Amino acid sequence: MFESLIQMIEEHPKYGPAMAGALTGKLSLVLNYHTHSATDDYCVSICSKTGDAIELLGMGGDLGELVHIRAFGKTEAECIPLTTSLARALHEHYGLDDLPEIYLNGKPLPESPLNEEGARS
């Protein structure tokens, strides 16, 4: 499922070049699982992490959206399983140095196993 999604991203006229640029620049990736309103399904954005990390405040810099995927999940409870699977697929497909971090509605999700594991992958 995720390999075909990655292929669609690569073939997209806007998202493909945006991903390629981030990968060439060795930017850290973030998966931001979010909703636009209480009645919408959840989307996921593949973002590059830009700006300086502010470790003391737990803020990791600014996010630059590379890819926006609508209707990725139905509930907040699906965040970790869906984004973890996508993160692992991206890591394997692109040979990333680190696993993408997981965010929920624009903020780091501390309970995500990847947010601790990513630096060790």
Q: Is the pLDDT of residue 120 over 50?
A: no
Q: Are strands 42-50 and 62-73 parallel, antiparallel or unpaired?
A: antiparallel
pLDDT digits (tens, 9 = 90+) for 55-95: 434 445 578 899 999 999 999 999 999 999 999 999 999 99
Cβ–Cβ under 8 Å, residues 84 and 113 = yes
**pTM (predicted TM-score):** 0.84
Give the integer Cα–Cα distance in Å for 7 and 43.
Answer: 18
pLDDT at 38: 82
Handedness of CA 86, 88, 90, 93 (dihedral sign): negative
pLDDT at 1: 80
Name the residue ranges covered by the structural domains of the chain: 2-112
